[in-house]
Amino acid sequence: MAQPLKIRRLAGALGAEISGVDLSQDLPDETIAAIRRALVEHQVIFFRDQDLTPARQTAFGARFGPLNIHPYVAGMADHPEVMEIVKEPEDRINFGGGWHSDMSFLQTPAIGSILYAVQVPEFGGDTLFASQAAAYDALSPGLKATLETLSAVHSASREYSAQGHSAQKRKGMSVAEADGYVGEYVHPVVLTHPETGRKALYVNPAFTLRIDGWKTSESKALLDYLFNHCRYEGFTCRFTWAAGSVAFWDNRSVWHFALNDYPGQRRHMRRVTVDPWPAMAEQAREVELARAG
């Protein structure tokens, strides 16, 4: 019989730390189901003192859905689903150093990301998380009603194209695939979580270009307002890493921001990204098509 998880809430809007589980093991289905329930309830969950090889990390991630192979950043040779995120002491720019939601630039965005700390700096290198469900809840009824009629255009063009300004190009990470491949995809501005029914804002500064059907200049004022609103301190939690720590966040309702405040030190992380099961992805597409009329 699976032991119940020990869950300690970390902040008001989101975040919980889970203990009493070894993620490197072949966990029973009821434990995986309990972890998933904790994820959708708390939006981001954390584990300490884990020992995950790339194979163990992919095995754990695959219990929640198919694993994504990033279209622009090369994964490990033996584990293409695993991205190695390394900032060397001489690097000035870090990966993920701005508020964003992973993979919103895809036609079918990822549902979650699992980040494992291999090596962390002596100080700095925390990650911030922001609940976009809390951000939606705090809006006025009038603005909620307006936003629920809108969709937004997402693209990786600013981050991964030849003209983009992503740190990957400065770090030798593979971005050549982006040339001629970057597309634009439309998603609702307000996303209804398929597992909880809770609504969340689904725009982010890295990948949202404009409101669908609006000019970029027309979209700017509304998006700037939402971006500023969505990172309000009361919607956030902050995680301080140690080697062996794991963060698992729900990209459907969470932004994150990797802080770049550890000059001259090395930080080495590994990430796997979980896509929705095909039936869940098809259901989400049907909802978007129905919403578009």
Catalytically annotated residue among 36, 79, 271, 275: 271
> Which residue type does 167 have?
A
Residue 68: CB atoms within 10 Å:
25
Active site annotation includes 256:
yes
Reply yes or no on whether 285 is catalytic.
Answer: no
User: Is 154 considered catalytic here?
Assistant: no
The yes-or-no answer on residue 212 being catalytic is: no
Give the separation between CA 162 and CA 169, rounded to whole angstroms.
9
Q: What is the layout of strands, in order, in the sheet containing 112-119?
A: 6-9, 16-19, 44-47, 246-250, 112-119, 267-274, 83-87
The secondary structure of residue 100, as a DSSP letter, is: B
From CA 221, how far away is CA 226, in angstroms rounded?
9
Q: In what order do the strands lie in the sheet with 236-239?
A: 236-239, 127-131, 254-258
- Of 79, 100, 252, 267, which is the active-site residue? 100
Residues with Cβ within 8 Å of 73's Cβ and at least 6 positions away in sequence, in order, are 83, 160, 168, 173, 174, 175
User: What is the Cα Rg of the chain in Å?
Assistant: 18
Q: Considering 210, 256, 267, 270, which one is annotated as catalytic?
A: 256
- Phi/psi for 193 (5° steps) reads -65, 125
- Catalytic-labelled residue, pool 36, 42, 102, 250: 102
So which residues are the catalytic ones? Answer: 100, 102, 256, 271
